Amino acid sequence: MKATKARSATAAFEQSLARPDRAQYELRLYVAGMTPRSARAIANIKEICEEHLKGRHDLRVIDIYQQPMLAKGEQIIAVPTLIRKLPPPLRRLIGDLSDRERTLIGLDIEPTQ
């Protein structure tokens, strides 16, 4: 099973390098319950994905209260935290993602005019 995961991750990586304008984004948003800040972060990243990454993203929202081992494995020290796993390099953004321009820059996404 690990070999299959490794092959799919390698394939996704190679695909993102081959077509940078159509790169697949793998995003993980770590939140702490449904606090107002967590809810804002979820809404903000969903809007960004819908507007800028439609059809080319995998977004997973992970509640650290329900899945603390995932947060520990990613060394999450503050929430909300957004991790961009693909395309490389790995990036981390902390906060509710309200500053749209800063979030787009952090994700290396060019804003649409």
Identify the CATH number of the domain in which residue 59 sits. 3.40.30.10
The series of mean pLDDT values per 10 residues for the chain, 113 residues long, is 61 57 88 96 97 95 96 94 96 96 93 63
Q: Domain of residue 78: give its range.
A: 23-107
Q: What is the pLDDT of residue 58?
A: 97
Q: How far apart are CA 77 and CA 112, in angstroms?
A: 32
Q: Is residue 16 part of a domain?
A: no
Q: How far apart are CA 94 and CA 78, in angstroms?
A: 7
Q: Is residue 89 part of a domain?
A: yes
Counted domains in the chain? 1
- Give the global pTM: 0.79
Q: Is residue 75 part of a domain?
A: yes
Q: How far apart are CA 23 and CA 15, in angstroms?
A: 7
Residue 31, φ and ψ in degrees, nearest 5: -130, 165
